[in-house]
Structure 1
Amino acid sequence: MNPNLLKQLAIVVKQGSLSRACEQLYITQPTLTRSIQQLEIKVGAPVLVRTRYGVQPTEIGARLAQIGERILVETEQGEEAIRQFHSGYCNEFVIGIDPLWEFATVEQTTSYFMQEKHYVFHFRTASAAPQIELLQKGELDFLLAPAHLSVKQGSLDRQLLFRDRSAIFVGKKSALIGSNNVISQDILEKQRWIAAGANAGFLDRPSEIIGLKAASMAFTGSIRSVLHLLNTSDVLVRLPARLALMTGEVSVDQIIQVAGPQGPRRDIALWTRLDNLERPESPLCQDSCRLICYYK
């Protein structure tokens, strides 16, 4: 079977329209129609049906479109590998990064890795929960994420890189900002709370902070909205203290002291698959990450 037919089908299914697919493929609609007809002759059944909302795949069409999508991805990866080869690069590392880590260390991280002349570094920023799944599937080489995650770790190696604890930050419009007093739970329960790092390893149990008080909003994936609210409102949020301060978007006087023990640990670790440690290039990436953390 001509793989181009499957690639074209995948684009049609993704776009939901023959005309939009033609725009992406830079071909005419009669040409694309003939390609779909060739595929249907091969299958012996329709792969697309027209609806009031555009075209939809049949059951076999959806299966073939999934294969076409994989072919598209692998084709793009092959073209990128060729470009890297002609540019003199030996290999590529795919590294997942926690959003707060990226925001706080982007200048140091990028300036360091830009000096490496033999390898390409592909960074993916997202919360830890989906990224740890990509790591387990082999779609990431390394992951910089919270050290304490509730995930199966049998096939993973974890190396602690950056020590931190969570602290409660208050917005710049909060009456609690700059307070030197220990804030009681009664006062905390009257404040407006948001949660950062939901499903990412940074979210504390509500009972550890403010009893049964619920956060009015929760943010997963991006840290920019959380930092914006800390600069423009009176909300309270618990964040990794050291890393949050490194962003330059919040200050020490926004951290309040509360009754009870210190905040729980929110260390950052370098995660990888155990079988990935056998790659000869792996020590390079591990040493680079350690060096970046050393200067924090």
Structure 2
Amino acid sequence: MDIKQLRALIAVADTGSVTRAASLLHIVQPAVSRQLRLLEEDVGTALFARGRYGMEVTQAGAMFVEHARRALAELDRARSELRVSEGVSGTVTVGLLPSTCDLLASNLVAEVASRYPAIRLRVLMGYTGTLQNWLEQNETDAALLYDPKPSPVLAVTPLVEERLWIVGLPEAGFVADEPVALADVAHLPMILPNAPHGIRSLVEQTCVNAGIELTVAAETNAMSVQKGLVSGGHGVTILPGIAIADDLTAGRLSAAPLADSLLSRRIVLAMPNNRRVAAAVRCVVDLLVAQIGEAVRGGAWTTAQLLQEATGGAQ
């Protein structure tokens, strides 16, 4: 088993075709087929089923592909750290929550490119459960998470706390400086994230504690769909303020903070504590934490409150 075989495995799994994989790897098709054959002989099982619609990954193959991805990611990371180059270098993978991407991703990419041109930055987006899983499997170097489940392999640093908002069409008349109690809007058709999304769990627990019964009109696993359904007149939703800042400015939606004290989310920086933190990772994380602090203090993230002085020195 060698690196060429693993790269061929992943390329075929991603493209579903030996021909397309060969093009992607810039080698001839017979070479890809040979790499797969040698790999299957080495592991002693079929990794693909050759069907009429292309190369379909078997159950064993799917498991092996995930291991191969992690192995190659670790090798790429090690190669980057060992490569002699000017300044800090390496590949850094950062995970961001959907609600924070628009605010942070572009500036982070620009800052890293300007200050650390030898760093290759990968920005992934996902909900907390997905990002935490990637962190625990060493597929991500750092991530912003919303109230993650306790994990012995993660070190977390609280960064900001943000109140949740009730969101509706402009004619709903919600006003930013007039908090609304959840009980007063519980009768409205509600569009909520699917369980076990963190916000859904928080809202449901608040309802149980207060004896409130919501009218759930629809569920979705995408924040953009939540807002789209509200815009389409299907009901109201509950989101963090940063997720609707542009919509409020453009007048597409109206919103008000929920008055219930428990309806707020805490965002933390999470990093694996079971491996050494590379210099490149530390540099990117410091930039990310500093940008969050600047966004809150500068008014770009008006709905958040800093839980520590985010100046770029996260521990």
TM-score (norm 2): 0.67
Deviation (angstroms), 1:66 = 3.7
Tell me, yes or no, if structure 1 residue 201 matches structure 2 residue 214.
no
Deviation (angstroms), 1:248 = 1.8
Structure 2 CA distance for partners of 1:215 and 1:263, relative to 1, 3 Å: farther
Tell me, yes or no, if structure 1 residue 269 matches structure 2 residue 255.
no
> Given residue 99 of structure 1, which amino acid in structure 2 is its aligned partner?
P
Range with bigger deviation, 159-168 or 272-281: 272-281
The match for 1:218 is 220
Deviation (angstroms), 1:100 = 0.5
Deviation (angstroms), 1:6 = 5.3
Q: Give the secondary-structure state (helix, strand or coil) at the position aligned to 2:103.
A: helix
The match for 1:132 is 132
Asked if the contact 1:8–1:68 (Cα under 8 Å) also holds between the matched residues in 2, the reply is no
The share of aligned pairs that are identical, in percent, is 18
In 1, the alpha carbon distance for the partners of 2:180 and 2:46 equals 70
**Bigger radius of gyration:** 1
Residue by residue over 1:20-79, the C-alpha shift from the partner in whole angstroms, topping out at 9 and shown as x without a partner, is 44444455555555666666777899776644444557888x499649944994598379
> Given residue 293 of structure 1, which amino acid in structure 2 is its aligned partner?
I
Asked if the contact 2:168–2:231 (Cα under 8 Å) also holds between the matched residues in 1, the reply is no
The match for 2:313 is none
Structure 2 CA distance for partners of 1:14 and 1:92, relative to 1, 3 Å: closer
The match for 1:143 is 143
Deviation (angstroms), 1:104 = 2.8
Q: Give the secondary-structure state (helix, strand or coil) at the position aligned to 2:213.
A: coil
Structure 2 CA distance for partners of 1:102 and 1:272, relative to 1, 3 Å: same
In 1, the alpha carbon distance for the partners of 2:281 and 2:5 equals 38
In 2, the alpha carbon distance for the partners of 1:195 and 1:26 equals 46
Asked if the contact 1:3–1:71 (Cα under 8 Å) also holds between the matched residues in 2, the reply is no
RMSD: 4.5
Deviation (angstroms), 1:161 = 1.5
Asked if the contact 1:167–1:263 (Cα under 8 Å) also holds between the matched residues in 2, the reply is no
Q: Give the secondary-structure state (helix, strand or coil) at the position aligned to 1:214.
A: strand
Structure 2 CA distance for partners of 1:232 and 1:85, relative to 1, 3 Å: farther
Residue of 130, 154, 157 corresponding to 1:156: 154
Structure 2 CA distance for partners of 1:129 and 1:57, relative to 1, 3 Å: closer
The match for 1:4 is 4
TM-score (norm 1): 0.70
The match for 2:116 is 117
Deviation (angstroms), 1:101 = 0.9
The match for 2:312 is none
Structure 2 CA distance for partners of 1:197 and 1:104, relative to 1, 3 Å: farther
Range with bigger deviation, 121-130 or 274-283: 274-283
The match for 1:188 is 186
Deviation (angstroms), 1:236 = 1.0
In 2, the alpha carbon distance for the partners of 1:65 and 1:36 equals 12
Deviation (angstroms), 1:98 = 0.9
> Given residue 192 of structure 1, which amino acid in structure 2 is its aligned partner?
P
Asked if the contact 1:141–1:276 (Cα under 8 Å) also holds between the matched residues in 2, the reply is no
Residue by residue over 1:237-262, the C-alpha shift from the partner in whole angstroms, topping out at 9 and shown as x without a partner, is 11123x235x422259822477x734
> Given residue 98 of structure 2, which amino acid in structure 1 is its aligned partner?
P
Q: How does 1:96-107 map to 2 (within 5 A)?
A: 96-107=95-106
Q: Give the secondary-structure state (helix, strand or coil) at the position aligned to 2:114.
A: coil
> Given residue 131 of structure 2, which amino acid in structure 1 is its aligned partner?
Q
Q: Give the secondary-structure state (helix, strand or coil) at the position aligned to 2:216.
A: coil
Residue by residue over 1:154-185, the C-alpha shift from the partner in whole angstroms, topping out at 9 and shown as x without a partner, is 3322222222111211123x544459696784
In 2, the alpha carbon distance for the partners of 1:49 and 1:257 equals 53
In 1, the alpha carbon distance for the partners of 2:43 and 2:257 equals 68
Asked if the contact 2:95–2:142 (Cα under 8 Å) also holds between the matched residues in 1, the reply is yes
Tell me, yes or no, if structure 1 residue 233 matches structure 2 residue 233.
yes
Q: How does 1:255-266 map to 2 (within 5 A)?
A: 255-256=255-256, 261-262=260-261, 264-266=263-265
> Given residue 192 of structure 2, which amino acid in structure 1 is its aligned partner?
A
In 1, the alpha carbon distance for the partners of 2:75 and 2:237 equals 41
Question: Which segments of 5 or more consecutive residues in structure 2 lack a partner in the other structure?
Answer: 297-315
> Given residue 163 of structure 2, which amino acid in structure 1 is its aligned partner?
R
Deviation (angstroms), 1:97 = 1.0
> Given residue 249 of structure 1, which amino acid in structure 2 is its aligned partner?
D
In 2, the alpha carbon distance for the partners of 1:28 and 1:184 equals 62
